[in-house]
């Protein structure tokens, strides 16, 4: 079956389905008509360099992807739709076994026109050490990003996706599989786009796999940010932490849903998730829905929590007595709130780069 046929054969989901409850499919669809597949699709422009702009080192490569492994992604209508748009726009990033890269890789995705989409496969070799920043720049009115990845045995991999779209919609579908003793940090930084829907799924398929998922989301104006994160513990002695921080200003809304699943036989698993929301205006809204499904009795721990609230008045007062203006004190508290997750996204090089990026967007949160 063709990609177009695959998509059209899937009935449009209704809001009773958990994944689409807070962002109905027709709202994130580029035309609002689920039965349509746009004809005029612009390919994304892709650039992969080192963070300082230099060329790739030996052991890192980017190529056209002919295997189309994204068909294995456990997603529904969203994944099928991106495949229908981007079968001719698919790339593969390969990190060879055993290499250690001293500075982060920077993958820049630029788009134009009305609709654009791309599929990306990331293959991280065994015993390698790599950091990857993916920057989604302003461009098309609607952008679809599908990523699938495999992190091989004992690899250390830090990965951050940054949404810098302008007045655009973003649909992001993602699935990564971690093998034995892989150590992975995955970060999401959102400060752009009018509407974002993310379906992010991670499988701890090897014994001893370790995963940290962090989010720092800035919402302003009338932005709508909806991220669904699933972490599946399928093997013994696996570890995961999900920490998601969102700031909401103006009339914006953020939604964070987290699902931790411990499979039968995944003995000794340790999993937890926390959502924190900072409300910056009376009209902003933040919803957090942590969930657990545990099918194994012998676990180290499984926990979840969520908290929402405004900027602390006492902290504001304290900073103003030390000479800060209202805006200065507010900006400092917002930065500190977001830094608690940004700090966990990778090396000092990544954190410094992200901190500068976040600081530049704080004025929009008034």
In this prediction, residue 74 carries a pLDDT of 56
Helix then strand then coil, in percent of the chain rounded to 5, is: 20, 45, 35
- CA 291-292-297 angle, to 5 degrees, is 170
pLDDT (tens digit, 9 = 90+) per residue, 9-32?
888 888 888 889 999 999 999 999
Mean pLDDT check: name the lowest of 256-260, 297-301, 326-330, 342-346. Answer: 326-330
Instruction: State the Cα–Cα distance between residues 273 and 302, nearest whole angstrom.
Output: 9
Instruction: State the Cα–Cα distance between residues 316 and 311, nearest whole angstrom.
Output: 8
Region of residue 181 (left: phi > 0; alpha: psi -120 to 50; beta: else): left
For residue 70, what pLDDT band results from cuts at 50, 70 and 90?
A: low
Instruction: State the Cα–Cα distance between residues 63 and 119, nearest whole angstrom.
Output: 12
Q: Give the predicted TM-score (pTM) of the model.
A: 0.92
CA 35 vs. chain centroid, Å, equals: 27
DSSP letter at 355 equals H
Nearest to 212 by CA among 238, 189, 175, 180: 238
For residue 272, what pLDDT band results from cuts at 50, 70 and 90?
A: very high
Nearest to 174 by CA among 207, 196, 142, 206: 196
pLDDT (tens digit, 9 = 90+) per residue, 220-259?
899 999 999 999 999 999 999 999 999 988 999 999 999 9
**The pLDDT of residue 318 is above 50:** no
Q: Exposed, middle or buried by CB within 10 Å (0-12, 13-18, 19+), for 128?
A: buried
- CA 182-218-158 angle, to 5 degrees, is 15
The whole-number average pLDDT for the span 118-128 is 96
For residue 4, what pLDDT band results from cuts at 50, 70 and 90?
A: confident
Domain ranges of the chain: 3-311
Phi, psi of 37 (to 5 degrees): -120, 110
In this prediction, residue 73 carries a pLDDT of 65
In this prediction, residue 69 carries a pLDDT of 52
Instruction: State the Cα–Cα distance between residues 222 and 255, nearest whole angstrom.
Output: 13
Helix axes 313-321 and 326-342, enclosed angle (nearest 10): 120
In this prediction, residue 326 carries a pLDDT of 67
Nearest to 245 by CA among 221, 224, 214, 220: 214
In this prediction, residue 263 carries a pLDDT of 96
In this prediction, residue 280 carries a pLDDT of 87
The whole-number average pLDDT for the span 200-215 is 97
Instruction: State the Cα–Cα distance between residues 288 and 51, nearest whole angstrom.
Output: 34
Highest mean pLDDT among 175-179, 300-304, 339-343: 175-179
Average pLDDT, the chain: 88
The whole-number average pLDDT for the span 147-166 is 95
**The pLDDT of residue 85 is above 80:** yes
**The pLDDT of residue 365 is above 80:** no
**The pLDDT of residue 356 is above 90:** no
For residue 92, what pLDDT band results from cuts at 50, 70 and 90?
A: very high
Query: Which one is predicted more confidently, 343 or 23?
Result: 23
pLDDT (tens digit, 9 = 90+) per residue, 125-137?
999 999 999 999 8
Give the C-alpha distances (Å, rounded to integers) separating 62 from 37, 107, 275: 28, 10, 35
Instruction: State the number of CA atoms in the 13 A half-sphere of 260 facing the CB.
Output: 27
In this prediction, residue 217 carries a pLDDT of 92
Give the end-to-end CA distance of the chain in Å, rounded to a whole number: 49
In this prediction, residue 352 carries a pLDDT of 84
In this prediction, residue 156 carries a pLDDT of 98
Query: Which one is predicted more confidently, 129 or 113?
Result: 129
Contact 265, 297 (CB under 8 A): no
Give the C-alpha distances (Å, rounded to integers) separating 176 from 74, 147, 319: 10, 8, 42
For residue 76, what pLDDT band results from cuts at 50, 70 and 90?
A: confident
In this prediction, residue 199 carries a pLDDT of 95
Residue 344, number of CB atoms within 10 A of its CB: 17
**The pLDDT of residue 170 is above 60:** yes
């Amino acid at each position: 079956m063709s990609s177009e046929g695959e998509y059209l054969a899937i009935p449009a989901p209704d809001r009773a389905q958990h994944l689409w409850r807070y962002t109905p499919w027709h709202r994130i669809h580029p035309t609002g008509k689920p039965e349509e597949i746009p004809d005029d699709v612009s390919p994304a422009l892709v650039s992969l360099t080192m963070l300082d702009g230099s060329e790739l080192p030996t052991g890192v490569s980017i190529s056209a992807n002919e295997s189309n492994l994204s068909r294995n992604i456990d997603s529904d209508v969203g994944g099928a739709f991106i495949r229908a748009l981007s079968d001719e726009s698919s790339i593969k990033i390969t990190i060879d076994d055993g290499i250690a890269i001293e500075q982060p890789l920077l993958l820049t995705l630029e788009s134009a026109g009305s609709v654009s989409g791309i599929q990306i496969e990331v293959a991280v070799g065994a015993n390698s050490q790599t950091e990857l920043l993916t920057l989604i720049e302003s461009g098309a009115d609607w952008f679809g990003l599908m990523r699938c990845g495999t992190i091989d045995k004992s690899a250390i991999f830090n990965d951050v996706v940054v949404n810098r779209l302008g007045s655009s919609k973003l649909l992001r579908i993602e699935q990564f599989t971690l093998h034995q003793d892989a150590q992975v940090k995955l970060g999401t930084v959102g400060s752009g786009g009018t509407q974002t829907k993310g379906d992010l799924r991670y499988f701890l398929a090897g014994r001893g796999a370790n995963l940290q998922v962090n989010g720092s989301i800035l919402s302003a104006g009338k932005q709508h940010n909806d991220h669904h994160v699933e972490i599946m513990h399928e093997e013994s002695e696996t570890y995961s932490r999900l920490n998601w921080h969102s700031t909401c200003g103006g009339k914006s809304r953020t939604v964070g849903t987290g699902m931790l699943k411990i499979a039968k036989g995944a003995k000794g698993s340790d999993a937890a998730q926390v959502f924190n929301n900072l409300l910056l205006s009376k009209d902003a809204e933040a919803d957090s829905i942590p969930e657990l499904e545990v099918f194994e009795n012998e676990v180290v721990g499984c926990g979840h929590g969520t908290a929402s609230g405004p900027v602390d008045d006492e902290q504001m007062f304290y900073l103003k007595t030390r000479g800060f203006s209202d805006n200065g004190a507010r900006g400092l508290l917002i930065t500190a709130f977001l830094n608690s997750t940004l700090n966990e996204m990778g090396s000092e090089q990544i954190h410094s780069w992200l901190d500068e990026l976040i600081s530049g967007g704080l004025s929009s949160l008034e």
